[in-house]
Amino acid sequence: MKKYIAIISIVLLFVCVFTLGFRSKPIISPDTYYGVYLDDELLGVIHSKDELEKYIDKKGEKIKKTLHVKKVYSPNGLEVKRITTYRNRLQSVEKIYNEIKKRKDFTVKGYQFTVKQESGDSKIYVLNKNIFKKALEKTIASFVGTDNYNAYKNGTQMPVTETGSMIQNIYINNDITVKEVNIPVSEKIYQDEVELSQFLLFGENVQKQYYTVNANDTVETVAFNNQVSVEELLVSNPEIKSIKNLLYIGQQIAISYLNPQVKVIVESYVVEDIESKYRIEEKYDASRLVGDDLITQKGENGLERVVQNIKYENNVMVYVDPVSKEELKPTINEVVIRGQKMVPSVGTLTNWAWPTASGYTITSNYAYRIHPIKRIRQLHPALDIAAGYGSPIYSSNNGVVYSTNCDSSYGICAIINHNNGYYTLYAHMSRRSVKVGQVVSKGQRIGDMGMTGSATGPHLHYELWVGGPPWKGGTNINPHKVHG
């Protein structure tokens, strides 16, 4: 009996151990999943990296239609890393997607062009590198003309036989780099070369105003009255080919303010027939009163064929290199007998001498422009006249040297008081040959042409003031008012 009881006890003990063992909880082990980090911050854990990428692409259908791309990618700064954790910590890709969307923009594959500028680098985003290339070509064509640019590219420019010009070289004077990147969809992404070209010409502000032409308007007066340079007006209105174009009443002229994002350099070989203005030779008669003048020989302008290499930056002359000049018609100087019954330090009001030698080029008029060095829009209150480094600079009238002290941007300069209400200023000289207090006569050499101070090339910066000295009561006016 005892034997049976022992056997039954062993069986019951075995059943209890077996039953209790299978009812206890199993031991749970961690597994490998994926942690989603945005800028090093953990957003959550997901089961599959591929599943998240597919979900992002699926939810980006609107972006794909707008930008005409095939795939949408994670934001920059998003990392998906393999981690070991427990299943109960997993989150849905939808929840992770919504969290990402709240924090940062999704991206598309494209290219970032970086344009180096003095004012700071400009970043331009495109989906196709050809868009940037075509936009650059459109920008260049805006400055030189489509026909001229195509002829230059194709090697079909007509050679200069008598007068005319020929482009020798065109290049962009900026460091430009490109790299393939993931572009946040909130960035401005250019899909069209025309739109990008407008940005390269005008910057962020591409809005245009329109001016209606009135009677007696010219290209030059329309530009000046709207505070733009002639060059800017021509770029904004390709149908107007040159400053000499005639305008008609009621014509709509686009007024846009250039803010080029690149420097388009054009180097041209130019041959022009330039009128050389006659000089007035003065002879003095002590028996005549000042102002009682007698012309004994009428003056006649001559004509010279001038050959120059000219460098333009965004359609503005920045350097003129004279090559040669040939006299086609001689200049006949005018001879005037002037009364001398007064100190001849008083300049005449009727005849002003041109301040440079013949064969000159006016590189910048008294007009609004973008300063070639400061890169800001302002009135250029003078005439810039190029005639070659070291060429003579003449006093344009009788007078007394008032000052040789100008702002450092003027370089070596001289200011002459003509004692008739007018003052003239001569700047950027390489050498000055007069001193303060010295009496000078009209046509007297007062220095040599140079490029001291703020200048991109050798030229004379020539200002005219009336009513008082420069910056001290005088009013700056256009020198053409006395020179015609």
Residues 189 and 249 in one domain: no
- Does residue 273 lie in a domain region? yes
Residues 285 and 427 in one domain: yes
User: Quick one: pLDDT at residue 291?
Assistant: 66
d(CA 324, CA 354): 20
- Does residue 220 lie in a domain region? yes
Residues 197 and 229 in one domain: no
Residue with tokens 């460098």: 311
The residue ranges of the chain whose pLDDT is under 70 are 1-28, 289-291, 342-343
Of 170, 185, 207, which residue constitutes the final position of a domain?
207
Residue range of the domain that includes 404: 264-483
Please name the amino acid found at residue 436: V
Residues 115 and 94 in one domain: no
Torsions phi, psi of 91, nearest 5?
-125, 160
- Residue 337, token pair as written in the block: 């007998």
Residues 335 and 459 in one domain: yes
Question: In CATH, what number is assigned to the domain containing residue 305?
Answer: 2.70.70.10
CB-based contacts of 135, cutoff 8 Å, min separation 6: 190, 193, 194, 196, 197, 200
Residue with tokens 């007006």: 233
Residues 60 and 192 in one domain: no
Cβ burial 2-27 (10 Å sphere, 16+ → b, else e)? eeeeeeeeeeeeeeeeeeeeeeeeee
Number of domain units in the chain: 4
Residues 269 and 198 in one domain: no
- Residue 330, token pair as written in the block: 């001689």
Residues 279 and 420 in one domain: yes
| Residue ranges with strand state E in 96-234 | 107-115, 122-126, 164-172, 176-184, 189-190, 209-212
- Does residue 437 lie in a domain region? yes
- Does residue 135 lie in a domain region? yes
Residues 383 and 427 in one domain: yes
For 163, half-sphere exposure in the C-beta direction (CA atoms, 13 angstrom radius) is 10
Of 59, 89, 104, which residue constitutes the final position of a domain?
104
* pTM across the whole model: 0.80
- Residue 217, token pair as written in the block: 């308007």
Residues 250 and 270 in one domain: no
Torsions phi, psi of 170, nearest 5?
-135, 130
- Residue 433, token pair as written in the block: 């040959």
- Does residue 14 lie in a domain region? no
Nearest CA to 398 out of 339, 343, 341, 441 is that of 441
- Residue 465, token pair as written in the block: 């003031």
Residues 132 and 197 in one domain: yes
Nearest CA to 434 out of 443, 449, 423, 445 is that of 445
- Does residue 327 lie in a domain region? yes
Cβ burial 100-118 (10 Å sphere, 16+ → b, else e)? beeebebbbebbbbebeee
Provide the 3-class DSSP secondary structure of residue 19. Answer: helix
Strand partners, 265: 171, 313
- Does residue 71 lie in a domain region? yes
- Residue 411, token pair as written in the block: 């370089």
Distances 267 to 165, 297, 329 between C-alpha atoms, Å: 10, 42, 29
d(CA 337, CA 281): 9
- Does residue 21 lie in a domain region? no
CA torsion through residues 77, 78, 82, 85, sign:
positive
Of 45, 69, 104, which residue constitutes the final position of a domain?
104
* CB atoms inside a 10 Å sphere around CB 216: 8
Please name the amino acid found at residue 431: R
pLDDT by residue (tens digit) across 219-240? Answer: 999 999 999 888 889 888 889 9
d(CA 402, CA 438): 8
Distances 29 to 85, 88, 91 between C-alpha atoms, Å: 9, 11, 18
- Residue 69, token pair as written in the block: 């791309």
CB-based contacts of 405, cutoff 8 Å, min separation 6: none
User: Quick one: pLDDT at residue 341?
Assistant: 73
pLDDT by residue (tens digit) across 30-78? Answer: 788 999 999 999 999 999 999 999 999 999 999 999 999 999 999 999 9
Nearest CA to 176 out of 121, 135, 214, 138 is that of 121
Question: In CATH, what number is assigned to the domain containing residue 217?
Answer: 3.10.350.10
d(CA 452, CA 430): 6
d(CA 330, CA 416): 30
Residues 286 and 392 in one domain: yes
